[in-house]
Structures are given as C-alpha cells and as structure tokens.
Amino acid sequence: MKVTVIGAAGGVGRRVVHQAAQAGHAVTALVRTQEQADMVALHGAVPVLGDLTGDWQHALDGAEAVVWAAGAGVSGHPQAIDGDALIALTDELVRRAPQGGPRRLVVVSSMGVDRPDQMPPFLNAVLRVKATSDAHVQASGLDWTVLRPGGLTDTPGTGQVSAGLPAPRGMIPRDDVAAAVLAALEQPGSVGLTTELVSGTTPVREAIAGQ
C-alpha cells in the first residue's frame, strides 16, 4: 500500500513510518526540515518537504491511504494544526476522491475528545479543537478511522492494548499506537471506527478487529 504519513517526524509519526516500511508499505513522509527528511529516510520513507500551515498538498500525490499523526501539543497552537490543518486535509481528500485520490484516512487523535471537562485542565483547549476536526473527518464520507490514545510514553511497546469508547484512562507506548495505526490500515473492517486506546492485554490487531 502507498501510504502518506502527515506528522511523520513526531513521536508517533516516525514510529508509523518505521513500522509501515518494515511491513512492506511504500511510505511518503511529510516533514518540515531537511534534518527531519534525513531521519525519516533512514526509516525507509520517501521524504517530502512541506508545512501544514502552507504548502503540503503534493505529499498526497500517488497515495492510496493517509495517516494523520500531526499535533501542535499543549504548548503549541492547536487551532492551526489539530484543527484547521486536519480539516483542510480532509477537504483535500474529499476533493481528490472522485479523481481516484485516496479515500482511506487514519487519524491519531486523543483520549477525552468527547469529554474534555473530565480530563486534566491543561488538555481542555486542544481536546476541544480536536473534537471539531474529528467530527469533520467523521462526517466527510471518507473511509476513516479515528484512534484516540491515552497518555503517550516512549517505553517499548508490548503489542497489547485495551480498546473501547470509552476506554479506561491510562497510558500507552507510542510503539503500540503506531501498531494500531498499521492494524487499522490493513483491516478494512476498521473503516468507520472511533476508539480509545490504552495499554492492556489484547493483541493490537485483535483489539482493532474486535471493535
């Protein structure tokens, strides 16, 4: 599968790039700097330079599926990235779909998007922005999957998660989030799925397939 990863230099994105390339997919990675391009190339991707606040649409050329793994973080400007850029990506995929462009979109969002008031206060602003852009994706008519992981860690993945809506609050290694992205891409039954993810006891592919 030809997969474009948006946010390929981030913590989850570069793991998606690595795992997708290892699985035999042809990966295009949207990055902002030459340093990031060199990094994703080492993981087996073809880097494409662009910026989500400017020119990035060329990264979609030739893709069969798109992974959204970008995010501004709690200290950034979530409206521009988590909100406006994801909405713009969705609209661009809808525009291209009748001409054979990619309809498949897997979005890495965040736990608590549907209940920001129950989450830590410092997350409220970004979760509210994500709620709007997630809803835009879900109403787009594309073949979408929305994954909402809990707190992200850099500990090695276990390959096992707990999935549900809602899932119990908890943490999850970025490795396992990337594995869930790959599982969703490779399982047509995940189209239309929105689920939260934390560490658990169910193998990733089984957890995604069972939702």
pLDDT per residue, tens digit, the chain (211 aa), is 999 999 999 999 999 999 999 999 999 999 999 999 999 999 999 999 999 999 999 999 999 999 999 998 766 789 999 999 999 999 999 999 999 999 999 999 999 999 988 888 888 889 999 999 999 999 999 999 999 999 999 999 999 999 999 999 999 999 999 999 999 999 999 999 999 999 999 999 999 998 7
3-state SS, residue 4 = strand
Helices and strands: H and E segment counts in the chain: 7, 11
Q: Give pLDDT, residue 117.
A: 85
Q: Give pLDDT, residue 75.
A: 66
Nearest to 190 by CA among 171, 210, 204: 210
Strand-pair partners of 197: 149, 163
Q: Within 13 Å and on the Cβ side, how many CA atoms surround 139? A: 7
Whole-prediction pTM value?
0.96
